[in-house]
Structure 1
Amino acid sequence: MGTLRVIQWTTGKVGKLSLRGILDDPRLELAGVYAYSDDKAGTDAGPLCGRPDTGVLATRDIDELLALGADTVLYTPFMADLDHAVRLLESGLDVISTNLFLNVGGIQGETKARLEQACERGNSSLYISGINPGWINTMTAAMTAVCRDVQMVSIAESADVSVYESAETWQALGMSLPEATPQVIEIAKMWLSTFHDAVQRMAVTLGYELDDMEFFIEHATASEKVDLGWFCMEKDTIAAIRAGWNGKANGKTVVQSKVAWYLTKQLNADWDFLDDHYHVVIKGEPEVDTRIRFIPPDTWGNHEWDTMTAMPAVSAVLDVAAAPAGILGLKDVGLVVAPAGIWQHD
């Protein structure tokens, strides 16, 4: 397979990092960039992601992008636009999305039907690599291959989220409030629907038929005032959560995805947080216990952590191109890897 021509769709927190990924991969050629905002239209793609000029200018003209004869779209908007996605797929473009389409109902029901029809008309593929959790789902499902029996699969994420400067996100999850009201819990449930999706996707991959999805959440308050500069929590207001989803079959939890997120460790609760970002446990024969820790270079800013969302999508471009048409699951794309040999340093 020769060089594939790729369109980057939006250049936000994740999009600018996947744009860098395209430019760094000699197997890929940047064909075009879709600009969400008018002020980015006409701007060279390079400066939009902190790189030198590329000669490719961002545009809001979808017809112009469809006329480029590209192969793939890396779709990274904060909110999905179903009409846009359908149009891209119908034109014959493969779409690799970090967005889960949750704001238009998720990949189910009418939304799924429209996307499947678009893939059929365009002989194209839609692959959702996910945002967070994304990559870890594929890795965990693959690790079950060593087992002769699997009773339960669990992914636990632990993170100091004070590096993620988004006051809106943490307020929505109840941070800085004196207590978690039923309304706050419902909003948190909606925000954590990405983990609901992760449980469902792993269940499908592993052949489980879930009959229940159970949400759980608990909160801890700060033992002292914490001012992060961009966000402030008074003493005795919420500063950490533990939450997640249990996917159940025949009344037993078979797939679990949970998080422990904290803005400070100074809490009115005896909570322990792992230094590892992921703790994966597969209960079976044998039991698998795996811990994963990401160690960023000193040069990374806070939002560079979105690299772990962007790069699995970029790395999947060739695999998705080789896969059959339609909406692809975790097993359909195969083992997505980085082109390490191409990057090999002297």
Structure 2
Amino acid sequence: MAIRVAHVGTGNVGGLALAELIANPQFELTGVNVSTPEKVGRDAGELCGVGLDTPTVTGIKAVNDLDAIIAAKPECVVYCAMGDTRLPDAMTDVMRILAAGINVVGSSPGLLQFPWGVMPDKYIARVEDAAQQGNSSIFISGVDPGFANDLIPFALAGTCQRIEQVRCMEIHDYASYDGIEVMTYMGFARPMDEIPMLLQPGILSIAWGTAIRQLAAGLGIEVDAITESYQREPAPEDFDIAIGHVAKGTVAVLQFEIRGMVKGHPAIVIEHVTRLRPDLRPDLPRPASGDGSYRVEITGEPSYAVDIIPSSRKGDHNHAAIAGAAGRVVNAIPAVIAAPPGIRTTLDLPLVTGKGLYAPSTLVTT
């Protein structure tokens, strides 16, 4: 019997996640919730962007009514509404869903990926209480923070004899990324003397603290402190990107690090190198191939350097990474439904293997 699922949020990740729910016969879509007035009343199949291989009419009309989504009694809600800039609202939403007895997977609120040591205990307790009330569970993930910071490094770490440091990197050109809210949050194309939300003191450590803390928990170490640093580079001249115009002198490169310190040693490091043009700051790490890659480096015995290069027939590296984030949460639905109530993490869930996803392409001849 198909798993009854509903969906909230049809932005970049949400649109591709919705496409998976529609295309995969193991799911039955019960409802779609949107926040943009222009999307209300449209068929769910119209809200997937390029996610669907063929146009699909589902008969499910988008609403702006979370009560209606809950009233349909799905087994799971895929929650992809923006959480970075509306954290209190996103937290309230998922707690309502959990308390109603409905499981949640999603890309937000990101702090619930591994909230211990990052969020105040009282807020964690509220989510846990809602889950216990509804006998439901929640799993939040993505790509970075997400599987590039937990699933992949854990797989490598499990083969080591000794580990001195784990470093997870995202090295991407964001020129084609059209998420203007996220780009503004990061400060791109903004004046150099303007400090964006992401770079306010402590925000990096909160946003990626979940990844640091989860890696530490998996390695069995205690992080004494989390430190952060960043550097930026201005655009050398005017140019245009997906979100609009980048004026000369505004932010065009952002590099940052978040470090989980253990007795003064950076045991776990998350590093991002984000450019708006590939020729900028050639001294900084570059993608392993093309315009974007993820890298996991483990220093120890043995040491590893593993590059993950996302690609897609439907778009570039940014599209492929977003598709991976969507796939991570959607494919976890059966495991999350089967899990004990509460906040679940990569450390809790069984390995999600891609069971049932094999589909040979007509483009592959050998």
Do Structure 1 and Structure 2 share a fold, with TM-score over 0.5? yes
The counterpart of 1:109, out of the listed 112, 115, 121, is: 121
Who is 1:22 aligned against?
21
Shift of residue 144 of structure 1?
Answer: 0.8
Who is 1:125 aligned against?
137
Q: 1:198 and 1:15 mapped to 2: Cα distance?
A: 21
8 A contact 1:100–1:194 mirrored in 2: no
The counterpart of 2:286, out of the listed 270, 273, 280, is: 273
Q: Which has the higher helix share?
A: 1
Q: 2:24 and 2:303 mapped to 1: Cα distance?
A: 37
Cα separation, partners in 2 of 1:342 and 1:95, compared to 1, 3 Å: same
Shift of residue 85 of structure 1?
Answer: 1.3
The counterpart of 1:59, out of the listed 60, 63, 69, is: 63
8 A contact 1:319–1:333 mirrored in 2: yes
The counterpart of 1:86, out of the listed 75, 79, 95, is: 95
Cα separation, partners in 2 of 1:151 and 1:263, compared to 1, 3 Å: same
Deviations 1:46-66 (A, max 9, x none): 112254211222223333322
8 A contact 2:197–2:203 mirrored in 1: no
User: Alignment partner of 1:339: what SS?
Assistant: coil
Q: 2:65 and 2:184 mapped to 1: Cα distance?
A: 35
Which has the larger displacement, 264-273 or 47-56?
Answer: 264-273
Who is 1:209 aligned against?
222
8 A contact 2:100–2:134 mirrored in 1: yes
Cα separation, partners in 2 of 1:268 and 1:120, compared to 1, 3 Å: closer
5 Å matches for 1:241-260? 241-260=254-273
Deviations 1:286-338 (A, max 9, x none): 11221111122255696564212211011101111222221112121121232
Residue 328, structure 1, aligned to residue 348, structure 2: no
Residue 44, structure 1, aligned to residue 53, structure 2: no
User: Alignment partner of 1:18: what SS?
Assistant: helix
5+ unaligned residues in a row in structure 2: which ranges? 50-54
Cα separation, partners in 2 of 1:185 and 1:64, compared to 1, 3 Å: closer
Equivalent position amino acid for 1:122 in 2: G
What is the TM-score normalised by the length of structure 2?
A: 0.84
Q: 1:25 and 1:308 mapped to 2: Cα distance?
A: 16
Residue 76, structure 1, aligned to residue 80, structure 2: yes
Equivalent position amino acid for 2:253 in 1: A
Residue 100, structure 1, aligned to residue 104, structure 2: no
Q: 1:7 and 1:31 mapped to 2: Cα distance?
A: 5
What is the TM-score normalised by the length of structure 1?
A: 0.88
8 A contact 1:224–1:266 mirrored in 2: no
Q: 2:196 and 2:350 mapped to 1: Cα distance?
A: 41
Who is 2:52 aligned against?
none
Who is 1:9 aligned against?
8
Q: 2:324 and 2:98 mapped to 1: Cα distance?
A: 25
5+ unaligned residues in a row in structure 1: which ranges? none
Shift of residue 35 of structure 1?
Answer: 2.4
Q: 1:152 and 1:301 mapped to 2: Cα distance?
A: 27
Deviations 1:36-92 (A, max 9, x none): 234433322111225421122222333332232311110111034222211211111
**CA root-mean-square deviation:** 2.8
